[in-house]
Amino acid sequence: MSNVIPLHGDPHETAQRLLPWYVTGTLDAAEHRLVEDHLAHCAECAADLAGEERLRAEVAALPDAPPERPAAQWELLRERALASAASSRRGTSWWSALPTGRRIALAAASQAALVLLGIGVYDRLRQPAGGDYHTLSAPSAKGEQGGNIIVIFRPDSPEQAFRATIDAVGARLVDGPTAAGAYVLAVPNGRREAALATLRKRADIVLAQPIDGERAE
Amino acid sequence: MSGDRQARFEQGTWSDEPALLVRVRAHDLAAFERLYRRYHPRLSRFVTSLVRRHGLVEEVVNDTMMVLWDKPESFGGNSKLSTWLFAIAYRKAVKARMRDDEPVADEEAAERADDDAAPPDRDFGRQRTAAILQGAIGELSPDHRAVVHLTYFQEIGYREIADILGCPVDTVKTRMFHARRHLRRKLSGELADWI
Ligand SMILES: [Zn+2]
Interface pTM, i.e. ipTM: 0.83
Check whether domain B107-194 has CATH 3.40.50.720, yes or no: no
Residue pair B131/B113 in contact (Cβ under 8 Å)? The answer is yes
Contact: B48, A68; criterion CB under 8 Å: no
Domain architecture of chain A: domains with CATH: 11-60 (no CATH), 70-210 (3.30.70.80)
Q: Partners of A151 in the beta sheet?
A: A183, A208
Indicate the helix (H) or strand (E) that contains A208. Answer: strand A205-210
A47 and chain B in contact, CB less than 8 A: yes
Classify strands A205-210 and A149-153 as parallel, antiparallel or unpaired.
Answer: antiparallel
Residue pair B60/B108 in contact (Cβ under 8 Å)? The answer is no
Rounded Cα distance, B15 and B186, in Å = 42
Residue A152: which of A117, A105, A192, A124 has the closest Cα? A117
Secondary structure of residue A207 in the 3-state scheme: strand
The more confident residue out of A88 and B28 is B28
A162 — alpha (psi -120 to 50), left (phi > 0) or beta?
alpha
Model-level pTM? 0.65
Q: What are A93-102's contacts with CB under 8 Å, separation 24+?
A: A94/A154, A94/A155, A94/A156, A95/B26, A95/B27
pLDDT digits 0-9 by tens, A104-126: 554 554 444 444 444 333 333 33
Rg (CA), chain B: 19
Residue pair B177/A17 in contact (Cβ under 8 Å)? The answer is yes
Indicate the helix (H) or strand (E) that contains A200. Answer: helix A192-201
Distance from CA of A77 to the nearest CA of B (A): 6
Provide the residue ranges of all domains of chain B, joining segments of one domain with +. 3-99, 107-194
Q: Distance from the CA of A11 to the center of ligand 1, in angstroms? A: 7
Residue A217 has pLDDT above 60, yes or no: no
How many Cα atoms sit within 13 Å of B120 on the Cβ side? 0
Please tell me the predicted confidence (pLDDT) of residue B155.
Answer: 94
Please tell me the predicted confidence (pLDDT) of residue B190.
Answer: 66
For chain A, percent of residues with pLDDT exceeding 70: 61
pLDDT digits 0-9 by tens, B24-44: 999 999 999 999 999 999 999
pLDDT digits 0-9 by tens, B46-101: 999 898 777 889 999 999 999 999 999 899 888 899 999 999 999 999 999 888 76
Please tell me the predicted confidence (pLDDT) of residue A98.
Answer: 46
Distance from CA of B178 to the nearest CA of A (A): 10
Residue A108: CB atoms within 10 A of its CB come to 12
Please tell me the predicted confidence (pLDDT) of residue B123.
Answer: 63
| Cα angle: A95, vertex A96, A97; to 5 degrees | 90
Residue pair B85/B68 in contact (Cβ under 8 Å)? The answer is yes
Give B182's pLDDT tier (boundaries 50, 70, 90): very high
A43 and chain B in contact, CB less than 8 A: no
Residue B147: which of B129, B168, B130 has the closest Cα? B168
Q: Distance from the CA of B176 to the center of ligand 1, in angstroms? A: 17
pLDDT average, residue stretch A50-76: 83
User: Which chain A residue's Cα is nearest to B195?
Assistant: A51
Residue pair A17/B173 in contact (Cβ under 8 Å)? The answer is yes
A78 and chain B in contact, CB less than 8 A: yes
Match domain B3-99 to its CATH number in 3.40.630.30, 1.10.10.10, 1.10.1740.10, 3.30.930.10. Answer: 1.10.1740.10
Contact: B26, A95; criterion CB under 8 Å: yes
Distance from CA of A206 to the nearest CA of B (A): 6
Q: Provide the sign of the torsion angle of the four alpha carbons A35, A41, A45, A51, taken in this order.
A: positive
Contact: A107, B26; criterion CB under 8 Å: yes
Give the DSSP letter of residue A139: P
Provide φ and ψ at A145, rounded to 5°: -125, 140
A contact test, residue of B1, B25, B115 with most A CBs within 10 A: B25
Distance from CA of A75 to the nearest CA of B (A): 10
Residue B163 has pLDDT above 80, yes or no: yes
Residue pair A144/A198 in contact (Cβ under 8 Å)? The answer is no
User: Which chain A residue's Cα is nearest to B171?
Assistant: A17
B74 and chain A in contact, CB less than 8 A: no
Q: Partners of A152 in the beta sheet?
A: A182, A207
Please tell me the predicted confidence (pLDDT) of residue A155.
Answer: 66
